[in-house]
Chain A
């Protein structure tokens, strides 16, 4: 898969989801932490923000050094934004909008998540 391509892909919103991919059971995801889902060759970081009772998904690729690591990052909150900090150099990204909160890296792509029958679903366009 071409790494650069994923980084520039348009974010998916709830309304334009075409496919809800059934990723894994809820309890496979650490409390207040993330794990990585493989979907058609794409790596998606999925976060179980237990404390807020919410779920987020974004590309696993950190645009700083193009490494597939974001799912192993620590999550937290920066003002209004739920965020993830990259484990390599602590770039932080909003999990809502994908924007880089502590620098001016490209925004990351975010994906909608829904939970049904204790399963985590991620929304894709194709």
Chain B
């Protein structure tokens, strides 16, 4: 039996094993793997996620048992110190010697640390392994609230800067070049990105050559060539990578001038029995710091060893999309064409920090590459157009501006891609393979398609496309695409809504017995609870144990298990007398108070048993629930409007109060927010809300489907210059239609995005009654308005409900574990220790 030895159990080394065992059917080879790191290969690409969840297991590419089951001998925590080419053997740091028939070097690279005076000081880190992160996190927690710099403004540096920010430090990026991501972005793209970074609170310093690291033993600052300096207590170096070719050098394999083991298109080094793959391999005079080329190299090496003539691609795609940091940045194909080579179409909107550039061949036929900053949602499609040299639309600018005027997107449909189009570049999975997994091999869910084809299991950037391909393929088979809500119900929310309504089902268990399986879970219970609330306008008090945690106790749970209290302040209008009442009650129960972003007052730190006492007093003062805990109407934000404001066109406060009272208490798939502005200066931010009204000359403009939050979207115009009654009628219908048809936890904007026909279709339903359901929608909304009751009043007045508010069933003692600490004259929960 022949032996293959792999040095390095990193991402590419692992991929080699995976591909090797898949093809080594007759088991003609032994496979031995040596890894220097203490753990088995993990997903370095998603290293930063370790900050978020501290979960090394989640990053693991395959558990140790995976290797065992496949007969792979894996030695972690063992470094190879020597290669003896004549003996065909390797030696470990423990002095053990192993022979090979073929050797695969997959030793990756190490971070490049420039020789700056003082880089050896405490508090200077690199960013490559889980251990690096652990040390950095440890140090960061010692300098809480301090400043930290990242040396290097490339892809990795920016990712590190975001991680530093998440560690609670003030992040600074220091870049030698005059722009950020110099390898991927042009000057204007970098400027747009810089603006976005600043918005995220990341400081950017360009054109800075670091001369020395200041500090006495520990880093205290950085000094630059012009004598200026920056005070920081920590530094992460992300200044590029150096291939780990030290073994190759010591056994005289051919290496490049600037490092890297020279390989041919068979991934062979200068010794035909030795292959090099991944970030250590120098192919066509380049090191490729990305996983996709590494994975392709792994495939080539596997095939070569097993006697198949697979060759490495001539050109390597270096397209990249920045992940994780909350800013869309992508660069694909050739981002920097010159004027002789190509026409560039550039779209810039400085206000929104958008920059898009596409480079079109001189003949106008093909897309050569481009840059996207601020909005990279079209990255996947553009990349496909470029890679497959697909025909461009008549006006190529539509690619970045969207088709103006006509319907339909300029980018066309995923199904238009040729079958060979590589959709997942990490695993090189083509469109054809994904589609036939559905049509030929019978996979029906995204999960099983990804599992069998490996698509979307790398960086995950292609996932939206894979979703579309799977759904379209299912449709082509005449199968309905199931958006079943969880393993207990094989139905979408919309279907369950109809079942509940048509069959008159009234309890969760009844529904589960009738159309579900098993005993339910935390996904379907709240979703079904919301359906009952919508169909019967029932409060969360009736079936309390199927409500989401916050609904169950009609309050938002806080860090230490206490709750917050938010009374409704419709339209944000509050009298001095009410303010005094809130102040008195807040003082009596020692609550922390704060003005919320929704124009009302939140009182925090109430213990479970205090909630009914506090609400009883609030209700006596004329307050009612603000539903701050529910998937329900939150607030309708108002501006002061024509009663006081010199520009006001109409009474925005009165309208906001009226509308907030109309929709209060209604449960919906997600929370809903509204806004009313008295003129187009838009002080109430009505266009950032699920529904908004803006007073204009001659009536109200009605906007729908906007939100702030994680994915901000401006609302779209539904109707112009209509009177108040009409405006309310349209919004009634819009909300009712949304409540009936949206998937769970889908805000209106996300719902509209999925609604075929978009805003035009919605207008037809709401204004022109194209579905013939307007009357029904009107009546249902009116019934809500007529049957509203304050659920807190109900809770306080009903002894059985009130009895739920005790910490212990067998004792009246309060929970002795709750601890507060003082803060600025008020209090806050004692910080979590882990």
A interface with B by C-beta (< 8 Å): 3, 23-24, 28-33, 35-38, 43, 46, 49, 51-52, 65-69, 72-78, 82-83, 85, 87-88, 90, 92, 103-104
- From B53, B512, B560, residue with most partner A Cβ within 10 Å: B560
The residue on B at minimum CB distance from A86 is B549
Chain B residues contacting A104 (CB-CB under 8 Å) are 55, 57
Q: Is B834 an interface residue (CB 8 A)?
A: yes
A66 pairs with B809, CB closer than 8 A:
no
Assembly CA distance A7 to B401 (angstroms): 56
Assembly CA distance A120 to B545 (angstroms): 19
Assembly CA distance A31 to B810 (angstroms): 17
Assembly CA distance A32 to B528 (angstroms): 15
Chain B residues contacting A78 (CB-CB under 8 Å) are 521
**A–B pairs, 27, beta carbons within 8 Å:** A23-B809, A28-B810, A30-B544, A30-B545, A32-B509, A32-B546, A33-B545, A35-B809, A36-B807, A38-B808, A38-B811, A38-B813, A46-B809, A51-B520, A66-B833, A72-B557, A72-B561, A72-B608, A74-B521, A74-B522, A74-B546, A74-B548, A74-B552, A77-B520, A78-B521, A90-B522, A103-B55
Which of B55, B557, B810, B833 contacts A38, CB < 8 Å? Answer: B810
Chain B residues contacting A31 (CB-CB under 8 Å) are 545
B521 pairs with A65, CB closer than 8 A:
no
Q: Is B559 an interface residue (CB 8 A)?
A: yes
Given A33-B544, A72-B553, A73-B549, A65 and B834 touching (CB < 8 A)? yes
Assembly CA distance A73 to B811 (angstroms): 20
A74 pairs with B525, CB closer than 8 A:
yes
B518 pairs with A77, CB closer than 8 A:
yes
Which of B557, B807, B834 contacts A87, CB < 8 Å? Answer: B557
B817 pairs with A3, CB closer than 8 A:
yes
Supplied contacts A37-B808, A74-B522, 18 more A-B pairs, CB within 8 Å: A23-B809, A30-B804, A32-B509, A33-B544, A36-B808, A36-B809, A43-B815, A67-B561, A67-B817, A68-B561, A72-B553, A72-B561, A73-B549, A74-B548, A74-B549, A76-B519, A76-B520, A77-B521
Chain B residues contacting A24 (CB-CB under 8 Å) are 809-810
Chain A residues contacting B813 (CB-CB under 8 Å) are 38
Q: Is B644 an interface residue (CB 8 A)?
A: no
Sorted nearest first, the 8 A-B pairs with minimum C-beta distance are A87-B549, A33-B545, A76-B521, A77-B519, A85-B522, A35-B809, A38-B808, A38-B811
B832 pairs with A51, CB closer than 8 A:
no
A32 pairs with B808, CB closer than 8 A:
no
- How far, in Å, is A48 (CB) from chain B's closest CB? 9
Assembly CA distance A36 to B526 (angstroms): 22
Q: Is the interface of B mostly helix, strand, loop or mixed?
A: loop
- How far, in Å, is A43 (CB) from chain B's closest CB? 7
Assembly CA distance A108 to B53 (angstroms): 19
- How far, in Å, is B617 (CB) from chain A's closest CB? 24
CB-contacts of B777-827 with A (<8 A): 804, 807-811, 813, 815, 817-818
Which of B522, B552, B834 contacts A72, CB < 8 Å? Answer: B552
Assembly CA distance A74 to B521 (angstroms): 8
Chain A residues contacting B818 (CB-CB under 8 Å) are 68
Digit string of B506-542 for contact with A (CB within 8 Å is 1, else 0)? Answer: 0001001000001111100110000000000000000
The residue on B at minimum CB distance from A47 is B545
Given A38-B810, A73-B549, A68 and B817 touching (CB < 8 A)? yes
Assembly CA distance A31 to B508 (angstroms): 12
The residue on B at minimum CB distance from A30 is B545
Assembly CA distance A18 to B553 (angstroms): 35
Assembly CA distance A33 to B53 (angstroms): 28
- How far, in Å, is A34 (CB) from chain B's closest CB? 8
- How far, in Å, is B564 (CB) from chain A's closest CB? 14
B817 pairs with A72, CB closer than 8 A:
no
Which of A32, A65, A67 contacts B545, CB < 8 Å? Answer: A32
B810 pairs with A23, CB closer than 8 A:
yes
Given A66-B833, A69-B561, A74 and B545 touching (CB < 8 A)? yes
- How far, in Å, is A74 (CB) from chain B's closest CB? 5
Assembly CA distance A77 to B524 (angstroms): 11
The residue on A at minimum CB distance from B524 is A76
A76 pairs with B817, CB closer than 8 A:
no
Given A52-B519, A72-B552, A77-B520, A67 and B810 touching (CB < 8 A)? no
Which of A29, A52, A74, A77 contacts B809, CB < 8 Å? Answer: A29
A66 pairs with B832, CB closer than 8 A:
yes
- How far, in Å, is A62 (CB) from chain B's closest CB? 9
Given A33-B545, A43-B815, A77-B521, A69 and B804 touching (CB < 8 A)? no
- From B525, B608, B809, B813, residue with most partner A Cβ within 10 Å: B809
Assembly CA distance A93 to B509 (angstroms): 22
- How far, in Å, is B233 (CB) from chain A's closest CB? 27
Chain A residues contacting B526 (CB-CB under 8 Å) are 74
Assembly CA distance A78 to B519 (angstroms): 9
The residue on B at minimum CB distance from A90 is B522
Chain B residues contacting A73 (CB-CB under 8 Å) are 522, 549
Which of B519, B557, B809 contacts A37, CB < 8 Å? Answer: B809
Assembly CA distance A82 to B544 (angstroms): 19
Assembly CA distance A75 to B546 (angstroms): 9
Assembly CA distance A66 to B807 (angstroms): 16
A65 pairs with B832, CB closer than 8 A:
yes
Assembly CA distance A69 to B488 (angstroms): 25
Assembly CA distance A3 to B549 (angstroms): 23
CB-contacts of B545-581 with A (<8 A): 545-546, 548-549, 552-553, 557, 559-561
Chain B residues contacting A83 (CB-CB under 8 Å) are 521
The residue on A at minimum CB distance from B545 is A33
- How far, in Å, is A95 (CB) from chain B's closest CB? 11
Assembly CA distance A3 to B560 (angstroms): 14
Chain A residues contacting B520 (CB-CB under 8 Å) are 51, 76-77
Digit string of B350-392 for contact with A (CB within 8 Å is 1, else 0)? Answer: 0000000000000000000000000000000000000000000
